[in-house]
Every structure is written in C-alpha cells, then in structure tokens.
A and B are shown apart, each in its own frame.
Chain A
Amino acid sequence: EVQLVQSGAEVKKPGESLKISCEGSGYDFTSYWIGWVRQMPGKGLEWMGIIYPGDSDTKYYPSFQGQVTISADKSITTAYLQWSSLKASDTAMYFCARHSGNYGNYMDVWGKGTTVTVSS
C-alpha cells in the first residue's frame, strides 16, 4: 500500500526551530516529487514547495521561498519541512503529498497532516 506517514503534533514557542517529517512507503520514493501544503486554521490549502528525492532538486512557491526549507533523505524515504525561527503565523496544519504526472502536477497520495502550534 502506498502511504505517507507524518510526524506528530508539535507545540513550539516563537523563535524556536522545528523539523517535521513525512515517511513514504509502498512506492519508489526517489522517482516522485514530494511536497508540502499548508492549511491555516479555518482557511484554504496553500502549496508550499516540492523536492525530488532522486536528486534533491527543490522548488518553492515564491511566498514560502526563504521562510522554510524542504529536504529529503532517500536512504530512509523521508521528506522534511523545516523552520529556523518559528512565528505565530506558522500555526497551521501541514500536509505532505506525493506529486505525480507531468511536472508532478497533481497530488495523488496525502499524509494525514501534522499540526504545528506556535504560541508564547
């Protein structure tokens, strides 16, 4: 079964760093783009960026460039989303998703989401 398993909920203070994870299984992890989608409380989906684990090529949506870092460790089939200094506005649910098709244009497998709460 193809699945993405995300790490558990996090509660952090502003200024702290954080790295959340997404482990893929049941498919060739190095042959599909995998990316992250943000959903702030009560709001819609926002596409953040993707990484191709085969060669670590990474693309970011402009508004997220420089705000987060996407990485992957293909040896353990895991993708990561990282912040160096969290803000209260980073409070959200974060989904990872496998991207398929030409240019990885659609998201066919999703993780269940990781809730990140940033509060002093």
Chain B
Amino acid sequence: QSALTQPRSVSGSPGQSVTISCTGTSSDVGGYNYVSWYQQHPGKAPKLMIYDVSKRPSGVPDRFSGSKSGNTASLTISGLQAEDEADYYCCSYAGSYTRVFGGGTKLTVL
C-alpha cells in the first residue's frame, strides 16, 4: 500500500480559507467513511482534528471541517489564524484493521 497523496505545502493569509486535499484509492479513502486528520506542530505529538470524514472532536474549533468525494478527502480551515500554522496529515482506514497516512502538508500562514 502507498501513502495517500497530499500537497506538500499550502498557504493563506490570516482570515482566509485554505483546503488541503488527500487522494487515495477505492481500497482506502474511497472505500470507507473513516478518514481522519491530524495537526502537528514542530516537536509535538499529532493532534486529532477531524474523524469519520467530517466529525470534530470536542475542543476543536468549528473553523476546521472535513469532507470527501470519491477517492479524495479534504480538510478546510476557514478564518485562518497564526496558530494554525503546522503540518497536517490525513489518515484512512484501509481494511483488515490497517490504516495509511498521507505524506503531510505544511500550512504556512502568511
């Protein structure tokens, strides 16, 4: 299995919206509604931001939203803030209790 495909970097100004895509196959992203997204600041552990494609854990701002169409999932961050600058990883269930991560996207807030 290969890693899911994410853009290496995206950027936006404070207050703007950005969308990060995550492309897989019918064996992972397209086959299950089990896509999750993680935020990782430098030197820190990842943090769950979205699960089951579009659900937000308690405490995650509603500026973060997730969606999926076919084999591509997306994370949208609206009203960008400086503290959103981080690496973002998607992850999909891939059957047989395994999962696969995307390669990661570096978000820069200009």
Q: Tell me the total A-B contact number using a CB cutoff of 8 A.
A: 74
Bound together, the chains give a CA A100 to CA B34 distance in angstroms of 11
Please tell me if A66 contacts chain B, counting CB pairs below 8 Å: no
With beta carbons under 8 angstroms apart, the residue of A47, A103, A113 that contacts B45 is A113
Query: Size band of the A side of the interface?
Result: 20 to 34
Contact (Cβ within 8 A) A110 B45 = yes
Expressed in whole angstroms, the minimum distance between the Cβ of A51 and any Cβ of chain B is 10
Expressed in whole angstroms, the minimum distance between the Cβ of B100 and any Cβ of chain A is 6
| Given A45-B104, A59-B96, A101 contacting B46 (CB threshold 8 A) | no
Contact (Cβ within 8 A) A44 B3 = yes
Please tell me if B52 contacts chain A, counting CB pairs below 8 Å: yes
Residues of B at under 8 Å CB distance from A?
1, 3, 32, 34, 36, 38, 40, 45-48, 51-52, 57, 87, 89, 91, 93, 96-104
Q: Can you spell out 11 A-B residue pairs with CB atoms less than 8 angstroms apart?
A: A37-B101, A44-B87, A45-B91, A45-B104, A59-B96, A60-B98, A101-B51, A105-B32, A105-B52, A106-B51, A107-B46
